[in-house]
Amino acid sequence: MQVFIAQVINGLSLGSIYVLLVTGFNLLLLVAMIIHFSYPQVVVFSMYIAWVVLRLTGNNLLLGILAGVGSSIALNLVSAPLFQKVMSKRGEVDINSTMVLSMGIGMIITDVLSHSFNQGLPVAFPDSLSSNVPLLRVGLISVVSGQVWSLAVGIVAVACFFLLLYRTRAGRAFRAIAEDPNGARLVGIPILRTGLYSYALSGVLGGIIAVLLAMLLGSAYPGLGEQVAHKVLAVSIIAGLGNLAGGLVVGLLLGVLEAIVQGYVSGSWSNAIAFVIMLVVILVKPKGLFGTKL
Amino acid sequence: MPLPLYYFLSITAVNILLSWALYLPYRVAHLHFITVANMAISGYTAAWLVMTLNVPFAWALLAGFAMGGIVGWLVSLFIGDAPTFAVVIVGFTFIFIARTVIENLKAVGGTMGIFGLPNIGGSPDTHRWTIMAILAGLLLLVGFLLHRFDHSRLGRAASAVFVDKELAASLGVDIRGLGMLLQTVSCTIAGGAGVLYGFIYKSFHLDFFTFALVGIAMTIIFVGGYATQWGTVVLAPILYGVPLLFPPSIQEWRIVIYGALLVLVLVLKPEGFITRRFVFSIESFLSGSRKKRNIS
């Protein structure tokens, strides 16, 4: 039972990161109308930038975090014109080609990380960031500060995001475009500018996720983005593409499921079991459990 | 045959087969990456049959094709008419699962893979010529079938599905049936390509079937041109061959170059280099000159 509770706590902190990732992914899908498959690769790239800045500044946490968030926003904004160009060339929104474009960007990021940083070896974050100091220990249950931080920041970030989406003018513009882009244009919402805001906002979320992942995992490796990308797209599909509330539920569930499986099954099989369960759900309900919002 | 030439020709042929296997379901907008998982599953199965049960290579190759087809058909029962992104994620998930299962199976060497596959026909030279002959035959057969498909009613139905699924359905196209057919054929081709891929190197290792392979095939299709089968034929040898001419320090950035090329082409020339219009103009030019010759 203790193992189970420990793994549920682990899973909730991991799940909160999945929720943030899916939220950023869905925001781009709904407002900018792109499938940014390599969004998690952007996050991992930001982790690496934070790692470089931490090394250069003698582990100055504030600068490291700012660099992570800044690089995520910059990378998202730089890729925005590429996505816009692809969509304008197609005449109408073609999310499939944006997904392929995003995969190309992901290929570049992953390979640059495996050649240019730390000779392709995993990078370790300093203890001051990835603090694994146990805050609570009861038998086998141990709650470390990294888990608490990621869970707490994850909840606050998602709450702020939903507040922005449902209680502000900008949020209304986001939702209007998601609901009906042509109608939104007719009532005077600047589609391009609002789309750019969504890139910037998902960049902010990406930076926060990068910091949280660094705190939770304590390290990063070039293939991390690829692995997370598949899970994020899977969570998004299982929840129903663009369904923010569904993403919240399924993201947390996947985190908990993964952690529980890891608690009882040996390392290499545990990932496969999580993937098999995801596969079964996608095969049975390819349009998602909660319905798509596209 | 000199070894470098053998490897260049045979790997290029496998790349073309893999890209065609991806091209076929993409005719109905399905990016069916399960093909890479199928290459691994069929390849390992065939290698196991040859090494453990001493099954002759020809039968192992046929088993590889069959295995690919069966897996493809079973999966297509569920995603024959699924949206593109669902098909993509099923493919990636399948690759992960296949890799995990294979690396944990001692019967196929686990993380070490399978080494020392026997030469087909006895000597190394016969082995190479046999592999080349099979690959050439397969390229001709699959190429011919694709050409016929593209010029058939089924091909036109696939084009309709690609452009507008609902319109195609209202015109009476069986979207699910067509998707299932293309996915199954695609997986069958991939199964055979997987067996040959391993037998070229006379070994199987999981590093042969990574996401980089997906990236290479995707670059070949989208840069070459996803609307016809010919873009693949033109671009596969260039993409594989040109980096070999550069020093190793540049070669190791191959995937970055592929990625940049993919992004650039999607932005500047979305249909790729060999477009359908281009193929039509060549076909009409050739048929025109043929007509002229007949008249004279």
Residues of A numbered 127-186 whose beta carbons fall under 8 angstroms of chain B's beta carbons: which are they?
none
Asked if residue B248 and residue B130 are part of one domain, the reply reads no
Sign of CA dihedral B144, B174, B19, B67: negative
- B119 DSSP 8-state letter: P
The answer on B273 and B141 residing in a single domain is: no
Q: Which phi and psi (to 5°) does residue A43 adopt?
A: -60, -45
Residue A284 confidence (pLDDT): 82
- Full-model pTM: 0.85
Q: Give the model's pLDDT for residue A150.
A: 80
Q: Does A34 touch chain B (CB under 8 A)?
A: no
What is the C-alpha R_g of chain B? 20
* B267 shares a domain with B175: no
Domain co-membership, B284 together with B176:
no
Residues B41 and B131 in one domain: yes
Q: What local confidence, expressed as pLDDT, does residue A277 receive?
A: 81
**B96 vs A230: CB contact, 8 Å cut-off?**
yes
Residue B29's domain spans which residues? 3-208
End of a domain among B152, B186, B208?
B208
Residues of chain A contacting B83 with CB distance shorter than 8 Å? 286-287
User: Which residue of A100, A102, A254 is the best one to mutate when testing the B interface, meaning the one whose CB has the most B CBs within 10 A?
Assistant: A100
Domain termination residue (choose one: B187, B208, B229)? B208
Residue B109 and residue B8 share a domain? yes
Out of B75, B89, B262, the one facing A237 most closely (by C-beta) is B89
Stretches in chain B below the pLDDT threshold 50 = none
How many angstroms separate the most distant Cα atoms in chain B?
A: 68
State which of B179, B208, B237 marks the end of a domain. Answer: B208
Same domain, B197 and B51: yes
Distance (Å) of CA B285 to CA A38, B146, B224, B278, B294: 43, 21, 21, 11, 14
Is the same domain home to B16 and B123? Answer: yes
Residue B41: closest CA among B101, B91, B117:
B101
| pLDDT the model gives residue A95 | 64
Shared domain check, B220 and B199: no
**For residue A69, what pLDDT is reported?**
93
pLDDT > 70 in chain A, percent: 94
Whole-number pLDDT of residue A140: 67
Same domain, B199 and B233: no
Q: Do B71 and B178 reside in the same domain of the chain? A: yes
- What ipTM was estimated for this complex? 0.84
B33, B75 Cβ separation under 8 angstroms: no
Total domains in chain B come to 2
Residue spans of chain A under pLDDT 70: 89-95, 131-132, 140-141, 267-268, 292-294
For Cα atoms B68, B71, B73, give the angle at the middle one, nearest 5 degrees. 105
Nearest CA in chain A to B29: A96
The reply to whether B199 and B228 lie within a common domain is no
